[in-house]
């Protein structure tokens, strides 16, 4: 989540469910202190967003191209 928080997220006005989820996404508390875990409600979009940008956070290593040989 910390990685996502460094980005500014733009939401089209017609994406009302997205706006609802983003505005209702909150962290859980225990004994009045924040826990590093979101409440299990209004989190489907955030889960999808995390998975979607995973490629940005951890880019796949580039495959090494094998040298092609020509045999005559």
Interatomic CA distance for residues 58 and 61, integer angstroms? 9
The pLDDT of 2-19, averaged and rounded, is: 86
Q: Is the pLDDT of residue 42 over 70?
A: yes
Helix (H, G, I), strand (E, B) or coil at 44: helix
Query: What pLDDT is attached to residue 13?
Result: 93
DSSP β-bridge partners for residue 34: 29
The pLDDT of 45-64, averaged and rounded, is: 76
Nearest C-alpha neighbor of 40 from the set 21, 19, 17: 21
Q: What is the largest CA-CA distance in the chain?
A: 76
Query: Domains of the chain: which residue ranges?
Result: 2-57
The rounded mean pLDDT for the chain is: 78
48 against 64, higher pLDDT: 48
Query: What pLDDT is attached to residue 72?
Result: 45
């Amino acid at each position: 989540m910390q990685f996502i928080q460094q980005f500014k997220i733009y939401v089209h006005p017609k994406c009302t469910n997205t706006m609802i989820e983003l505005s209702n996404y909150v962290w859980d508390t225990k004994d009045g202190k924040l826990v590093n875990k979101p409440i299990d409600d209004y989190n489907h979009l955030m889960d999808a967003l995390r998975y979607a940008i995973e490629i940005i956070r951890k880019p796949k290593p580039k495959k090494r191209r094998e040298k092609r040989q020509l045999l005559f």
